[in-house]
Amino acid sequence: MKSKYSNQKEKINIEEIKEAAEEIKKGNLVLFPTETVYGIGANALNEEAVKKIFKAKGRAGDNPLIVHVSSIEMLEKIVSNISNIEKRLIEKFWPGPLTIIFNRKSEKIIPNAVTANLNTVGIRMPSNEVARKLIESSEVPIAAPSANISGKPSGTNVEDILEELQDKVSYILDGGFSDIGLESTVIQVVEDKINILRPGKITKEQLEEVTKNVQVDSHVLHMVKESEKVASPGMKYRHYAPNTKCIMVYSKNEQKMIDKINEITKEEEANGKKILILGKKQHLDSYISNKKWSIGSSKAEIAKNIFTLLRKVDNQGVDLVIIEGVGQEGLGLAITNRLIRACEYNYINL
């Protein structure tokens, strides 16, 4: 399939967004930007179209998709019994990077393929203008997972994902680099408690402004054991990990962290191994390895850079990637959650 490309980087081109919306209406797939990461979208009401997403990504059928809406009317057609806490979350954080797991309407307007047969459906209203205009012009909610082959880091810019996805979508809307760079915060409200199933830009601290009762699901930072039931099926799967072995090292004491990373480097280099360090810009001079990349100097920069960097480590001829961890406060929880998976739970916390 030859996909049509539309440049939406500097200025919105509404005519081309409408062309892409025609593809959604026809049951085809569109690659589009959101403020978090790119999505591969299909008409969420069309089961056959949604199945194409699973095929394009090689995604397990038991991993439900997020549905993207552009208005509250669209939301109300899909879900039932929006609670007071959910209403407050919507008021405060939509449009924006927060996915809420709602109860699905009993008429099952959203097909089972989207929700992996669950009685719930994850919904968000993106703030990215191209995404919103695409949904509005399509006149249907759009089901969209992150744009990547399953297991790989999510696409934060078109260049990174063009090769793996261009043959699989009918239209590409290129909105440049994603503002945030990590996927949305996924939460579920159970009675008067907010459960964070996947951390993101909307932090635990921000959610606590709505209710003090906010809990982080244990699988955010710990591996799912085989016998365990998970609140969010996506947590079971291998994710973000390059083929090269990665290890994350973190300590609140920066000097201790730098010393540990240098110690591992020395040991591994003595065994003939080649090391790549991914560290904060301000720490790079302290590392003895001669191959080192900056991940940025703030959490916001690290969030934005990390997926595109993880995609590049495999063809560097290195045996081990050592990644600096960050503290878990604020956006740090989301960064830690993604890095732990990239390192396949191989991390040292001093």
- Among 67, 81, 80, smallest CA distance to 143 is for 67
Q: Which of 95, 145, 199, 332 binds ligand TXA (CB under 6 A)?
A: 145
Distance in Å, CB of 139 to ligand TXA, minimum = 19
Which listed option, Mg ion, ligand TXA, none, makes contact with residue 279 (CB within 5 to 8 Å by class)?
Answer: none
CA angle 166, 168, 169 (to 5 degrees): 75
Contact between 157 and Mg ion by CB under 5 A: the answer reads no
* Residues across the chain: 350
Which listed option, Mg ion, ligand TXA, none, makes contact with residue 115 (CB within 5 to 8 Å by class)?
Answer: ligand TXA
Q: For residues 69-91, b (16+ Cβ closer than 10 Å) or e, as one string?
A: bbeeebbebbbeebeebbeebbe
Total residues contacting ligand TXA by CB under 6 A comes to 26
What Å distances lie between residue 267 and 175, 253, 279, 343, 344, CA to CA?
44, 22, 19, 19, 21
Q: What is the DSSP string of 8-72?
A: -SSS--HHHHHHHHHHHHTT--EEE--SSS-EEEEETT-HHHHHHHHHHHT--TTSPPEEE-SSH
Q: Which of 122, 141, 155, 175 binds ligand TXA (CB under 6 A)?
A: 122
Q: Which stretch binds ligand TXA (CB under 6 A): 69-77, 115-123, 169-177, 280-288?
A: 115-123
Contact between 178 and Mg ion by CB under 5 A: the answer reads no
CA dihedral 128, 178, 139, 115 (to 10 degrees): -120
Contact between 296 and ligand TXA by CB under 6 A: the answer reads no
Residue with tokens 């459906």: 121
Which listed option, ligand TXA, Mg ion, none, makes contact with residue 241 (CB within 5 to 8 Å by class)?
Answer: none
What Å distances lie between residue 58 and 51, 150, 231, CA to CA?
11, 6, 22
Q: Which of 121, 276, 322, 340 binds ligand TXA (CB under 6 A)?
A: 121
Which listed option, ligand TXA, Mg ion, none, makes contact with residue 137 (CB within 5 to 8 Å by class)?
Answer: none
Contact between 36 and ligand TXA by CB under 6 A: the answer reads yes
Phi, psi of 239 (to 5 degrees): -150, 145
- Among 160, 168, 165, 139, smallest CA distance to 51 is for 168
Give the x/- contact pattern for ligand TXA in 191-220, rule: CB under 6 A. Answer: ------xx----------------------
Contact between 189 and ligand TXA by CB under 6 A: the answer reads no
Please give the DSSP secondary-structure letter assigned to residue 317: -
Which listed option, Mg ion, ligand TXA, none, makes contact with residue 232 (CB within 5 to 8 Å by class)?
Answer: ligand TXA
Q: Which of 20, 29, 44, 66 binds ligand TXA (CB under 6 A)?
A: 66
Contact between 326 and ligand TXA by CB under 6 A: the answer reads no
Residues that bind ligand TXA (CB under 6 A): 34, 36-37, 39, 63-66, 99, 101, 115, 118, 120-122, 144-146, 183-184, 186, 197-198, 232-234
